[in-house]
Amino acid sequence: MMARRSIEPLVWILFSVGGVVAAMFVPVLLFLFGFAYPLGWLASPSHAHLVAVVGHPLVRVLLFFLCTLCLLHAAHRFRYTLYDGLQLQHLQELILLVSYGGAFVGSVAAGVLLWQFG
């Protein structure tokens, strides 16, 4: 039997998936909604059209996962930046609470917002 009983592989998978999602989708969304539409580089979709898109349950589920995974990725990075970069290993409990707790709160907030949207 292999010595696999820790939670670390699971946390790493979420971090890893979050990294892929953050690198692939967030720049596209930022480019479209931050630059291309407001600056008129691309024809902007109408408000009603966007409301209809976000109103679709599948889109809301995808957006929820996008937010959650990105937040988990950020939490993991933040945690190790504080541990190793700032040498705060002795504040482990507090750092875990702030980083993953923050990701949890952010995910819940995203979930509530997306739920209420419909």
Partner 1 sequence: MVDRITVEVARYRPEKEAEPSFQAYEVPCRKDWVILDGLNHIKDHLDGTLSYRWSCRMGVCGSCGMTVNGEPKLTCATFLADYAPGPLRVEPLRNFPIIRDVIVDIDDFMQKLSAVKPWLIRDAEKPLAEGEYRQTPAQLDEYKQFSMCINCMLCYSACPVYGLDPEFIGPAAIALAQRYNLDSRDQGARQRDEVLSKHEGIWSCTFVGECTKVCPKHVDPAGAIQRYKLSSAMGSVKDFLMPWRGK
Residue 6 Cβ vs partner 1, minimum distance, rounded to whole Å? 7
Q: Is 90 in the site for partner 1 (CB under 8 A)?
A: no
What are the CA-CA distances from residue 90 to residues 73, 75, 96, 109 (Å)? 22, 18, 11, 30
> Residue 83's closest CA among 103, 99, 101?
99
Stretch in the footprint of partner 1 (CB under 8 A) among 26-34, 62-70, 83-91, 105-113: 83-91
Q: Is 13 in the site for partner 1 (CB under 8 A)?
A: yes
> Residue 61's closest CA among 108, 21, 115, 101?
115
Answer for which of 24, 46, 58, 87 binds partner 1 (CB under 8 A) is 87
Answer for which of 29, 84, 101, 117 binds partner 1 (CB under 8 A) is 84
